[in-house]
Amino acid sequence: MRAARAVEPGFSPLDEELGLLPGKLTPRLQQSVVRMGSWMPFERAAGELEELLGVKLSEPRVRRLTEKAGAAMIEVEKAEVERLEREVPMAPAGPAVQLLSVDGAMVPLVGREWTEVKTLVLGEVSLEPGERRGEKVIKTSALSYFSRNCEAEEFARQALHETHRRGVERAGRVCGVCDGAEWEQKFIDYHRPDAVRILDFPHAAEYVAAVGRSVYGEQSVEFNQWFNTRRHQLRHGEEEEVLAALRRLSQQEPTKRELIEEKLQYLTKRREMIRYEKF
């Protein structure tokens, strides 16, 4: 005969036996709350849960459950990073060609304050390009994301959990597509120093466009014609012609020279990262 088990107030042995979490919600319902709460504003999530599942929860409760789950996930991932650093296990095999991209975005906090959240994106690059509007298109699938609100050095360390899981270390070739910020390049150095560095095309094109707007005016026909030509050259292996065009404008427009030289130097420093036809 089993000995009687002491039961504290508010505790049910059956809850533990069935694997239920503390509180009145089932594990599946808590999972739904957290999924909705991490997908949309908490107030809207509460409304959707009531509409879809008939469960009425307040906005503060949805917030608390979501944030509690997020905090628990972070602790689990931190522990995994420490294990990886301690044991240094072999990473799983990665894809033949892998995308690695990092960036930062400003997000609002309570009290009208803002902070930068850094995000890593990993994906598998198809070896068979598609086509769109007569141009070759590279397709990427199996995307996963990892975000943290922390300094760049700590972000690179904490991301080890995700880069190890996705096999970055053992992928055949890794393409680091970023906007050129120094911290992003250091991130790539930390995880895959031999990665092919690519300045994301919209970022490079914006530097070229800024020069054209300053010289011709944003709404002018001359700007549209000039920029369309330069953008086509940049995409199709004529990046040196683009840089030469910027140098000519620097000589022809002395009043705009400071701005033009700033954009030109940025692109010249990263000229090996703008070989888009090759990439």
Write the pLDDT tens digit of every residue in 159-193: 999 999 999 999 999 999 999 899 999 999 999 99
* Spatial separation of the C-alpha atoms in residues 273 and 85, rounded to whole Å: 31
Across the range 97-125, mean pLDDT stands at: 95
Mean pLDDT for all residues in the chain = 91
Measured in degrees and rounded to the nearest 5, phi and psi for residue 141 equal -130, 180
Burial 16-40 (b: 16+ CB within 10 A, else e): eeeeeeeeebeeebbebbbebbeee
Q: Which residues contact 102 (CB under 8 A, 6 or more apart)?
A: 118, 119, 120, 121, 178, 184, 187, 188
Q: Is the pLDDT of residue 142 over 50?
A: yes
For the stretch 68-85, pLDDT in tens is 999 999 999 999 999 999
pLDDT in tens, 227-256: 999 999 999 999 999 999 999 999 999 999
The pLDDT of residue 62 is above 50: yes
Position 8 scores a pLDDT of 44
